[in-house]
Amino acid sequence: MRADRESPFYLELLRSIPASPLLTIDQLPVVVIAVGGCVAVLSFLGCCGACFESICFLCMVRTGFRIVFEK
């Protein structure tokens, strides 16, 4: 189903989302892509840390994931 900006479904969806001063519906894809990019980079670094068996590297990756996913 494709929802263009003039369809009643899209307008009703926008009305049902509570207003947030920090995040609008237009910024959501950018935030999701940014978080996905951070996860991809951290995952790659975690694999490198595991291959080299570096405790420091793995602790850095763990801290990075805590920063990204902390509420």
Q: Is residue 8 a part of any domain in this protein?
A: no
What is the per-residue pLDDT across 6-46, written as a single tens digit (0 to 9) for each?
A: 667 766 766 776 766 666 777 888 888 998 998 899 999 99
DSSP the chain: ----TTSHHHHHHHHHSPP-SS--TTTHHHHHHHHHHHHHHHHHHHHHHHHHT-HHHHHHHHHHHHHHH--
Residue 47 lies in a domain: yes
Instruction: Provide the domain count of the chain.
Output: 1
pTM greater than the 0.85 cutoff? no
Report yes or no on 3 lying in a domain. no
Largest CA distance in the chain: 55
